[in-house]
A and B are shown apart, each in its own frame.
Chain A
């Protein structure tokens, strides 16, 4: 098996999206997870995602074959020593990320581009687990990676210009538009979207309008592709809540206080698309089921 020049660590939803985006752009990569089985499961999910894109006319069977052939699933982290770009997408736990970067620090040559895909954690804190904090950078891709054209390039306190330029080059390889973010909680995207989602939940809770109408208003009124409540369902209500808790811890502002309705739904295990129920209801494929009127209050009972 050839070892590719790019490595993605973590074959979860984010890792799959990134692997698919990298391979679609024409580059080979190694997709690493704890076991080969997990990495192969990731590859199967990518294959299904490509099938959906073929169904949307965006790719062909020939593209699928070529894309999948560029992804090498593996459980061997040690191959990172041959990679030019290493990108991690493991769960958002500081200790886990730090221990991974400690290992990468030992494995990789000094000129390897080491990227963390965190959406909330501090790049600087992660970087401190290595003896080359100036070589560590954050790139915050948004889900679904293949469809969202944006990436936030996040500089830690010590990230140097050369590392930043390499990250820019990587973003361009993937044909993504990028913005520069100086490390700060929530960056730009998360920080601005989360209070809006929360406010939409307050509007619903206070009985101002129905969930359908709130989403319709924001879609038609302001040109969002997806309404705020449907978007929260897609992101995962537990994820939205954890971002808010993180922002409130870091910034101590009451505007990040999760709406009681959000807390209730999360406690009830109604986490959005992934559990089939959030502000709206979904079938097993994740397609919205159109109910007469979505009633989250009833769902909570």
Chain B
């Protein structure tokens, strides 16, 4: 089945056209700077060179139409007619408590998605805009919403309730939801396949370390805990986000510096994490380079980053009462041997031991980096969220037709 996978942000649309028969992305690309006079469309067919087109793309409807026209263009296209697109899969960040699985998009569902905007005001409105755009441009093609949150739907209450008055859970849905679901699902399934065992027999910790970062504990394929919470701010120290923090800290700073809610929010989401501690960059590679050059806070930033991750690995092993595999994925997880080494330091007692030679070789490719005698397998697995979205979309659409 040929499936168009879309990830719509505030001023961007990322897309892949995936053929699920071969699991190949026939083309991938993005539209950026939507709404500005010089928007850019980047398009890479799987068998030809990447091209860039500059155009005035005013909104998401415009953007989707551009994507469709390049997919069928005689020179750069990968299909002859847009009718070849059999379904569209959308990444939708927040599925709230309702959605334990991906769902077929219907008018009723749109109402429910709009109601969820309150929980994810920064993401869901743009995801919805992308869906609306596709309903106009591809009115007869079934569409499916794949949520970041649904993998964590079975997380037990003791893992998702915060230690604040319960009434806020009832009143505003304040609880831990977790994100990065498709990525955690993809790499944990891959790890099980590499071990030749069914996921239901395995306890796996997956560390998705990208611009945003989260760790998930999957016991028998079920996410029983994950480090992101009500928003993607909780948990690990990230490129620009603080992660876990004494909540009194932000109240104290806001009072001292007389910050508005917006400023407090930006402080934690964009000025914190690696860039906040190091003052250098949100990019792990840059911070590592600076640490090598003895920049005072660069090593500290890396140490804080890895120490936090190491504590989560320990905590989740305890939460599951054991561990069979640890997976590193996403930009940092796939490409940074140093971060991996520091994050598992002193965890030999849990059975985690990595082979330094393999660790160094494992850059941007799938590899088992465990030491031969290690009780726990450690993997580096490049993630593929789009493929998860495509497969889910195919499954849901076939169910509908069945």
Does B267 sit within 8 A of A, measured CB to CB?
yes
Contacts of B260 in A (CB 8 A): 58, 147
Instruction: Mark B23-48 against chain A: 1 for CB-CB distance below 8 A, else 0.
Output: 00000000000011110000000000
Tally of A-B Cβ pairs under 8 angstroms: 32
Contacts of B100 in A (CB 8 A): none
Does B308 sit within 8 A of A, measured CB to CB?
no
Contacts of B37 in A (CB 8 A): 2, 4, 28
Does B83 sit within 8 A of A, measured CB to CB?
no
Q: Which of B36, B240, B257 contacts A56 (CB 8 A)?
A: B257
Complex CA–CA separation, A70 to B39 (angstroms): 12
Complex CA–CA separation, A2 to B270 (angstroms): 30
Contacts known (A58-B266, A60-B271); A26 close to B38, Cβ less than 8 A:
no
Does B244 sit within 8 A of A, measured CB to CB?
no
Complex CA–CA separation, A59 to B263 (angstroms): 8
Complex CA–CA separation, A4 to B259 (angstroms): 33
Which single residue of chain A is at the shortest CB-CB distance from B35?
A: A26
Contacts known (A26-B10, A26-B11, A147-B260); A60 close to B35, Cβ less than 8 A:
no
Size bracket of the B interface: 10 to 19
Q: Which of A2, A28, A57 contacts B266 (CB 8 A)?
A: A57
Which single residue of chain B is at the shortest CB-CB distance from A56?
A: B263
Residue contact B35 to A59, C-beta cutoff 8 Å: no
Contacts of A178 in B (CB 8 A): none
Q: Say how far A216's CB is from chain B's closest CB, in angstroms.
A: 16
Complex CA–CA separation, A58 to B271 (angstroms): 9
Which single residue of chain A is at the shortest CB-CB distance from B37?
A: A2
Contacts of A56 in B (CB 8 A): 257, 259, 263
Contacts known (A26-B10, A26-B11); A57 close to B35, Cβ less than 8 A:
no
Complex CA–CA separation, A192 to B262 (angstroms): 28
Does A27 sit within 8 A of B, measured CB to CB?
yes
Instruction: Mark A257-277 against chain B: 1 for CB-CB distance below 8 A, else 0.
Output: 000000000000000000000
Q: Which residues of chain A (54-103) have a CB below 8 Å from chain B? A: 56-60, 70
Residue contact B11 to A57, C-beta cutoff 8 Å: no
Q: Say how far B368's CB is from chain A's closest CB, in angstroms.
A: 38
Residue contact A60 to B266, C-beta cutoff 8 Å: yes
Instruction: Mark B317-354 against chain A: 1 for CB-CB distance below 8 A, else 0.
Output: 00000000000000000000000000000000000000
Q: Which residues of chain A (1-54) have a CB below 8 Å from chain B? A: 2, 4, 26-28, 53
Q: Say how far B20's CB is from chain A's closest CB, in angstroms.
A: 36
Contacts of B10 in A (CB 8 A): 26
Complex CA–CA separation, A3 to B120 (angstroms): 34
Which single residue of chain A is at the shortest CB-CB distance from B10?
A: A26
Complex CA–CA separation, A70 to B38 (angstroms): 11
Complex CA–CA separation, A59 to B257 (angstroms): 15
Complex CA–CA separation, A56 to B256 (angstroms): 11
Residue contact B266 to A59, C-beta cutoff 8 Å: yes
Q: Tell me which of B11, B37, B260, B267 has the highest count of chain A C-beta atoms within 10 A of its own C-beta.
A: B37
Residue contact B271 to A57, C-beta cutoff 8 Å: yes
Complex CA–CA separation, A60 to B259 (angstroms): 15
Q: Is the interface of B mostly helix, strand, loop or mixed?
A: loop
Residue contact A57 to B267, C-beta cutoff 8 Å: yes
Q: Which of A28, A57, A70 contacts B263 (CB 8 A)?
A: A57
Residue contact B36 to A28, C-beta cutoff 8 Å: yes
Q: Say how far B223's CB is from chain A's closest CB, in angstroms.
A: 32
Q: Say how far B62's CB is from chain A's closest CB, in angstroms.
A: 14
Instruction: Mark B239-266 against chain A: 1 for CB-CB distance below 8 A, else 0.
Output: 0100000000000000001011011101
Q: Say how far A50's CB is from chain B's closest CB, in angstroms.
A: 13
Q: Which of A4, A58, A60 contacts B262 (CB 8 A)?
A: A58
Q: Say how far B11's CB is from chain A's closest CB, in angstroms.
A: 7
Q: Which residues of chain A (251-295) have a CB below 8 Å from chain B? A: none
Complex CA–CA separation, A240 to B266 (angstroms): 34
Which single residue of chain B is at the shortest CB-CB distance from A58?
A: B263
Contacts of A26 in B (CB 8 A): 10-11, 35
Complex CA–CA separation, A56 to B38 (angstroms): 30
Complex CA–CA separation, A56 to B257 (angstroms): 8
Contacts of A58 in B (CB 8 A): 259-260, 262-263, 266
Q: Say how far A64's CB is from chain B's closest CB, in angstroms.
A: 12
Residue contact A57 to B38, C-beta cutoff 8 Å: no
Which single residue of chain A is at the shortest CB-CB distance from B270?
A: A60
Complex CA–CA separation, A58 to B259 (angstroms): 9
Q: Which of A2, A57, A59, A70 contacts B259 (CB 8 A)?
A: A57
Residue contact B271 to A2, C-beta cutoff 8 Å: no
Which single residue of chain B is at the shortest CB-CB distance from A62?
A: B270
Residue contact A2 to B267, C-beta cutoff 8 Å: no
Complex CA–CA separation, A56 to B264 (angstroms): 9
Q: Tell me which of A2, A56, A147 has the highest count of chain B C-beta atoms within 10 A of its own C-beta.
A: A56
Contacts of B264 in A (CB 8 A): 57
Which single residue of chain A is at the shortest CB-CB distance from B240?
A: A60
Complex CA–CA separation, A57 to B264 (angstroms): 7
Contacts of A27 in B (CB 8 A): 35
Instruction: Mark A139-159 against chain B: 1 for CB-CB distance below 8 A, else 0.
Output: 000000001000000000000
Contacts of B270 in A (CB 8 A): 60
Contacts of B38 in A (CB 8 A): 2
Complex CA–CA separation, A53 to B257 (angstroms): 12
Contacts of B266 in A (CB 8 A): 57-60
Complex CA–CA separation, A89 to B315 (angstroms): 58
Complex CA–CA separation, A2 to B55 (angstroms): 12
Contacts of B36 in A (CB 8 A): 28, 70
Q: Say how far A33's CB is from chain B's closest CB, in angstroms.
A: 21
Complex CA–CA separation, A4 to B264 (angstroms): 32
Q: Say how far A175's CB is from chain B's closest CB, in angstroms.
A: 10
Give the 5 A-B CB pairs with smallest separation, nearest first. A57-B267, A2-B37, A58-B263, A60-B270, A57-B271
A-B contact pairs, 9 of them (CB 8 A): A2-B37, A2-B38, A26-B35, A28-B36, A28-B37, A57-B266, A58-B259, A58-B260, A147-B260
